[in-house]
Structure formats: C-alpha cells, structure tokens
Amino acid sequence: MSLLNNIFRQLIFIILLSPLPAFSQIPKGKVIEKQKHSSSILGYDVNYSVYLPADYEVSERSYPVVYLLHGYTDNETAWVQFGEVDRTADKAIANGEIPPMIIIMPDAGVTFYINDHKGEEKWEDMFIEEFIPSIEKKFRIRAKKEFRGVAGLSMGGYGSAVLAMKNPDMFVAAAPFSAAFFPSEDFAKMPKENYDRTFAKLFGEGLEGEDRINDHFKANSPFEIAKNNTQEIKKVKWYIDCGDDDFLYKGNDQMHSLLRDLEVKHEYRVRDGAHTWTYWRTHIIEGLKFIGQSFHR
C-alpha cells in the first residue's frame, strides 16, 4: 500500500509542476499606438491606435475592420487603456465569439466626428475621404462595406451613428453605446453654459433656444437623418446600448422609439449601469459580437 501511495504522490507532484497545456493560453493580439495620419483636409496629424488579431503576423489573409470611437475629452488610447478592448477581443476571438478582426481607434478631439458649422475643421470629411482609404491600404483589411463596422461610446456613440447614417453604403453595421443623442427640444433647452462649452464651435456661437436648431444641427441630428433618410439607414444593421442609470438614457430611448416607428430593424439593450468605463468595458463585447455576425454571409 505504501508503494502505491508513493507512486500516487509522485504523479500528483509531476502534474502540479507540469506547464499548462497550450490550448488553455489565449493568443494575444497586438496593439500599436502612436500611429499618425497626415491629413491634408484638416492640416494636422490625426493620431490613432490599432488592434491586430493574434494571427495577423503569421497569416496572409485580410481581415474585417471595426472603427471604434472614443468619448468626449478622451483620445485614441482610451479604448485600450480604460476599455481593455484588446483583452476582450483576444478572449472573444479565441472562444469563437467573434471573427478575427482589426480594430482602429482614431483621435477626434472634441469634434463629435462631424464637420463644424464654419467648415474650418472637417473631421467627418477627413475620416471618410482620407482616413479610411489610407488605413485600409496600410493594413490587410477587406475594404468593402460588408466587412466594415463602426462603434463608439458617448460622443463616439453619436459619431458612430451619424457616420453610418450619412454613409450607409460604407458600413454594414453600427453599435452606438451610451450615445449623445439629443432630441431637438432638449438641445434647444440645454443650459447656456453646457451649450457654449461643448457645442458652440460645432453648431454656432451665441445661440439660444430654437436658434440652435439650425440647418447644420439638422444635417447632423440622428433623429432628423433617420426621419428624412429612412430607406437609406435601413441599409445598416443597428445595435444600440445604454445603461439604465446613464444621464443620456432619454435620447437613447427616444432613438429606439423613433426607429421602431420608422420600422428600422435594430437591437436595443438597456442594462444595469451608468455612464462609466465599467459599463462599456463590460458590454463592448456585445457590440463586437453584433458587428462580427454582420460580417457573415
């Protein structure tokens, strides 16, 4: 019996000292930061970060792409630094929840991803006309609508919606999170301090009340675009997500209601949480899954 006990102890000792099998280790993708796009439209360099899936360096294939947009006052590093989207993507790809994909994270400052009303800072034009073509030549990306998605949080949620609505032939799917959707009546009533600090440069200085609902605002309002171009936005697959304690819940609820009234197919999720990185870090996987499924034929 003592001999069997000794053998058993030796086997346990060997098992404990043995390295974990390779299949238990999640292959890690690569994050490349401090990349620059020199923009002739903007007249300055646009910084961006890139996530490349684990097999990018060893394969010759081309990949679908998601353009992932940051929120107000953040930059191109936020989704990795605070959102840990690289870890989320690594795990989801390894588990077969999403296809291997490239994620591009550009810096948009506080532009809300649109052109300003004076035409002095044309961020949207830069993104559509320069940035996407340049990026999709630099990396092995399947440069077609059916393999291109866009997502973002807060200001980036607004940006992902507006960019997809105004360019429905470029994006197969959009996933706005906690989007800065402001119905016209709320935008008109916004406290002057908030408007002047955040939106005056975009839509017009010194405006109050109904004067804020000008042509430039309407051209960049997801509500107005949806109502005026319903058939076009139906070309995009939509996923909208907002926490039940988020201060932007009203606009997201109203966008959901409007899309239902317009019979625009979409997924809408309200979860427990607020306007925090904990919420976005936890739930971005659902947006990536939705976009990843949209890549499938």
pLDDT tens per residue, range 176-221: 999 999 999 999 999 999 999 999 999 999 999 999 999 999 999 9
What's the average model confidence in pLDDT over 240-266? Answer: 98
Q: Are 284 and 85 in contact (CB under 8 A)?
A: yes
What's the average model confidence in pLDDT over 259-268? Answer: 98
Q: Is residue 6 part of a domain?
A: no
Residues 6+ apart with CB under 8 A from 81: none
pLDDT of residue 297: 80
Q: Is residue 267 part of a domain?
A: yes
What's the average model confidence in pLDDT over 127-149? Answer: 98
Closest CA to 120 of 224, 20, 202: 202
Q: What are 58-105's pLDDT values in tens digits?
A: 999 999 999 999 999 999 999 999 999 999 999 999 999 999 999 999
Q: Are 29 and 59 in contact (CB under 8 A)?
A: no
What's the average model confidence in pLDDT over 233-249? Answer: 98
Q: Is residue 126 part of a domain?
A: yes
- What is the crossing angle of helices 277-294 and 85-94, to 10°? 40
Residue 132 belongs to a domain with what CATH number?
Answer: 3.40.50.1820
Q: What percent of the chain has pLDDT over 70?
A: 92
pLDDT over 80 (residue 23): no
Task: Give the amino acid at 271.
Answer: R
Structural domains of the chain, count? 1
- Across 174-212, b (16+ Cβ under 10 Å) vs e yields bbbbbbbbbbeeebbebeeeebeebbbbbbbeebeeeeb
pLDDT over 70 (residue 39): yes
How far from chain centre, in Å, is Cα 25?
Answer: 27
Q: Is residue 139 part of a domain?
A: yes
What's the average model confidence in pLDDT over 267-277? Answer: 98
Q: Is residue 70 part of a domain?
A: yes
pLDDT of residue 15: 45
pLDDT of residue 25: 86
Closest CA to 255 of 268, 243, 244, 245: 268
What's the average model confidence in pLDDT over 34-41? Answer: 98
Q: Is residue 131 part of a domain?
A: yes
The pLDDT-based confidence of 147 (bands split at 50, 70, 90) is: very high
Q: Is residue 18 part of a domain?
A: no
Radius of gyration of the chain (CA): 22
**Among 5-19, 66-80, 258-272, which stretch is predicted with the lowest mean pLDDT?**
5-19
Integer Cα distance of 153 and 180 in angstroms: 8
pLDDT of residue 42: 98
- Rounded to the nearest integer, the mean pLDDT of the chain is 94
Domain coverage including residue 157: 29-182+221-294
214 against 3, higher pLDDT:
214
pLDDT of residue 170: 98
pLDDT over 60 (residue 41): yes
The pLDDT-based confidence of 10 (bands split at 50, 70, 90) is: low
